[in-house]
Structures are given as C-alpha cells and as structure tokens.
A and B are shown apart, each in its own frame.
Chain A
Amino acid sequence: MQSKLVHNILILKHLYLVLCLLGLYSTSVNALVEYNPTQLKAQQAKQYAQTLNQVATQVMGHYAALFSSQSSDKYPQNINTIQIIKAQLETDSGPPNQTTFTVTIQLGYLEDQITKFEKIKESFVFNLTKTSDIVDINRLYQHPLKSGNIAVEFNQLYYLNRQFAYAWLLLLDNLHPINPSEFPHSYATYHLTIGGNIFFGDVQKSLKKRKKWLGQGGHLLRSIDVKKTAKNVLQITLIIDWKGISSNHKWRIAKIKQIINIEPTKQGVYKIININEQHLLPDIAPWEKILC
C-alpha cells in the first residue's frame, strides 16, 4: 500500500517536472511565434537562400575550375562540356551545420582527338559556416556513355556566369563570402528603381538604401541570361525572387530584374561596371498579364 503511494507520488513529481518543462518550452515557442511570426519567416527565408546560394556558388566554381584543371584525378582531362542533369539539396540529413548537395552530370572531354562522354553522380558535403566550404566530395557512380550530346553552351563561361550570379546574391543578402579584391565593384554604379522610388549611387550606398524595402530576407535566382554587348563586356540579366521583411516590418515579396554589365578580367574575375535594378509585378496570379 505504502509502496504504491510512494510510486504515485513519484509519478506526480515527474509529471510536475515535465509540465514545468513543457510550460517553459511552450511559453518560449509561443512567445517567439506570437511575438513576431513575420520576423521568423524572414529569418527562415534568409537562411534558406543563404544555404542555397553558398552551395551553388561553390558547386558552380568547382565545375568552372574543371575546364582549366589538368591535375584532377577524379575527372577526365580536357573537359569541354559539363551539363548538370539533376541536383538535390539535402539539409535535414547528416550532422548539424552540414549539408549535402547531390549532383548528376554528363561531361564531354577530348581524348585522342575524339570527344567522349561520361555520366557522374557525386555528392558535395558542405560545412555551413560563413564560407560554406566543400569539405568532401563523394563519388556515387561514374561510368562512360557510349554516345552523348551536350550543347556547347555548357562550357566554362556558363559556370563562371552562374558562380558570379550566386555570389552576387550572397552579396545582396550581405553574406558575400568572396574577398572583394576577387569580386571588384567599388567603381560600379547602381541604378535602383522600386516603384516610384529611384536611387542612383555606388553599390554600397544603393544597397544601404535598398534595405529600407528589402530588409531581412533572401534572394533566390529564377533565371539568368547572358549576352556579349561589347568586345569585353558581358550583360547579365537576372530575374530574382525575394521574400522577407522591409524596414517597417511588413512581409514583402519582390520579383527583381537586374541588368548587370561586367568586364571579365584575364584572371577570370568579374569586374562590375554597372547595375540596373527594377522591381516587376511578382508572379502570383496566372491571369495578371491578360489584357482585355
């Protein structure tokens, strides 16, 4: 009888402790959600964009480097085309602060004057620090293809352009991991049009001004179009989605069009000449472009 009573008291003690802990948890979680759910959403958007853009910058840089690298024993020599067939970001598996990006590629390379093709599936393991360096590359499979057909546009420039674009998005989110000397923009002009608000200045000043509308959030690349406009000038047109909060704490979405003129240097560094940004009507309704 007495042991049953002691047992019940013990259960009640445990229950009380659990209730206290749950109460604390519930209060803190609800306080966070109730206090500012919009801020939380903006933080999540920023986190997601940061991870994706850091990973993409590294992967694009990795593939761009393969075109000029002659020493990698993991890949064939004399690569002239690489096409990404499939890519998947896995943030939930593995240890904390690590993420895996699994990529399937087809590559073409020149051997004995003949173009040969290979299919490779590999996973890049990233350490989610400020620079998100690649800590490991696991080869999942690699096999030759009897025949292949990869468009010539999937060349080194293709990957350098995308490496630049993703790194640029990190800069817009104030997370640029690359040394400014490798990514010069100090003399570039930035023309910003957000509705009736027009601003013209250098990159730092325009980005600071831009924070009023695009405060905390994340930029995601939707499309990239590159054309050569002069002998040594590339015009990169980016369509970017942004979501987050503005300085007045309102949830905000943007469809951003940026036209960036750049001058690639001989060292492969993209020197920004100017940026022209305007905000378009976000794609939220299929009928929004209809005219009657």
Chain B
Amino acid sequence: MLKKILILLCLNIGIFNLSNASSELPVLSGVGGNFSAVDMHNNPMQMNDYKGKVVILGFGYTNCADICPFTLGYLKQLYEQLPDYAQKQLQIMFVTVDPEYDTPAHLKNFISHFNQKFVGITGTRAQIDNIVQLFKARYTQIGGNVDVENIRRVVQKQTTDKSKVRLYNHSVTLYLIDQDGEVRHIGYTGTPKAEFSAHILSLMNVPIKTDKFRMKQGASNARSTAAYGEITNLADTDDILLSISSTIAKKTELHETQIIDGFAKMVHQPNRAFAAKETLILKPMSYHVMFMGLKQPVHELKTIDIVLHFKNAGKIPVRINLER
C-alpha cells in the first residue's frame, strides 16, 4: 500500500514538474535593432517608436509579382484571426527594398489592398540597406530595368505609365519582434497560421484566459445544448462579457441555472461583469454557455468555435472539445 502511495506521489511530482516546463521564445541575438526611416504617411519614424508593441516585420516591394502579395495576404489572414486584444498590441510592418520606386504614396496605395492598419516603410537607399543589414536579410536586383506594362502587380497599372521599374529577389523571412524591440522568432508564408499566432500571443499580455472548455456530443436530434469551462479575467481592471456568438446555433448565450419557486430555471446573463482576476467556473446547475436552435447535429462535430465578446478585451475565440 505504502509503496503504491509513494509511486503515485513520485509520479505526481514528475507530472507537476513537466507541466512547468518553459516554452519561452528565445531572443535572436544581434538580429534587428533600432533604425530610422520614413513611413507610408511620409512621417520620419524609428523602430523604437514601436516599443511596447509586438511587431511583425517583413521585406518586399510593391512591384513584386511573386511572394509579396502572398506574404501580405497571409499576414492579413493571420491578423484577422487574432483576438481583438492581440490586434491592438500588434503592428505589421512592410519594409520596401525598392525605395526609389516605393514612395510613401506608392506604399500606402499598395498596403491599402491588404489592411489599412499595416504600415509601409521606405526611406533612402542607405536607410533601407541599414535595416536589411540589421535583420540579416538580403536582396539583389534581377536583371535590368523592366517596363511597367510588362509586369504583373497588385496595384493597377495606369495605361499612361511608361516608366521602367526594377525587380528584386529578397528574403522572405517574417521577423516577430517583442515589446522591447528584440526579435524572438522568424516565420514565413509557409508557417502554419495557428503556429505563428501562438508565438505572437505568447509575447502578449493575455487579458482573458479560457480553460477546460467542453461539451457533450449529445443526441442527433437535440435542438439545444450547453458547454462548460472556465473564464478568468487576468487583467488588473474589471471587464464585462457582453455576449457570446457561434455559427452552430441561432442563439448562443451565457446562462445561469437559478432555483426560482422551487424550479430550476436557466436565466440569460447578458453583460456579466468580471472583476479583475475573477474566475468564473461554468458547470452543470450553474453558469454555462447555452446553444439554442442548433443549425446542425452537434454529435457530428469534434470541436466547436465560439467567440466571447468582452467590453475591454474585445473578441476572445474559444475552441470547445466535444466529449462522447
């Protein structure tokens, strides 16, 4: 008996220690740093201006017909998949390797095709070369100058534009930079978005933590169901859970089971206040996420995605695992 208890205790200690293993992203020493340039609004800028924000920095140019539109499309999708609080803390930065052609106006026009919150960076050739060197990136010009009419590009060509442009090869690396301006990871358009998102979020202050979300798969003809889990307000200030949304039901709401006149009733709890550091445990006969008017049988699904809409933290996506 004693032996069994000891083995269990030892196993517990082992598991506990494993769960504490750190997965901290390393700083990539000597990669990146402060630089001066000009942004797409024609304002002088420094990288240090973005301290306090997480930045994704990539290189390219507006006449690029290859990787640049894909990269910015990838970044657009990546950005839009992030929760609101993460979008607020993130700045996406596109540094041109063709500053002669990519004036602030050209960059602004190009960036507007993807996301207006992204920032394009240009400057003198010396300033761009300094940024390229700091980030250990590379670029080379391909061949001679090319007629604009012979290139394929995102920004629509003007029929009167007879100018010649340069084409470049350049690094495809996307640098993930933390709030102190230090590069913590690199990715590219082939990096799975979920993986890149996880790295971005690991650098940020998460205001709302969700945990242990689960739901029973239920009967095939069920018209409503409930999910349980834990929601914690990690912020130092109060917040309000305004609403919950999902695509699987006509209505998705936070409910609380209350005993009224001897009967258990499920009462809708809109605008549920969350005190700073408060954890709300959702469980049977208490708070739960209620799905009413299911649009498809839940038993066919393995996971369900919902979004918690907080007043301060914004949209918090949650993935619920279905249990048999």
Contacts and interface: CB of A to CB of B under 8 A. Distances in A.
Contact of B21 (A37, A197, A285): A37
Contacts, number: 115
B66 interface: yes
B169 A282 contact: no
B172 A287 contact: yes
A162 interface: no
Contact of B188 (A14, A33, A287): A287
Pairs of residues from A and B, 5 with the lowest C-beta to C-beta distance, nearest first: A279-B30, A196-B33, A254-B29, A195-B33, A281-B136
Contacts of B186: 281, 284-285, 288
A33 B5 contact: no
Contact of B134 (A195, A251, A282, A284): A195
A251 B27 contact: yes
Interface residues of B, number: 42
B17 interface: yes
B138 A30 contact: no
24 contacts: A18-B6, A19-B9, A22-B9, A25-B13, A29-B13, A37-B20, A195-B29, A195-B32, A196-B34, A197-B33, A246-B27, A248-B180, A251-B27, A252-B29, A253-B29, A254-B29, A255-B29, A280-B30, A281-B186, A287-B188, A288-B173, A289-B138, A291-B171, A291-B172
A139 interface: no
Given A195-B134, A280-B136, A291-B171, A22 B29 contact: no
A252 B26 contact: yes
A228 interface: no
Nearest to B71: A292
B28 interface: yes
B24 A38 contact: yes
A187 B134 CA distance: 30
B13 A26 contact: yes
A196 to B, nearest CB: 3
Contact of A281 (B16, B31, B33): B31
B108 interface: no
Contacts of A19: 9
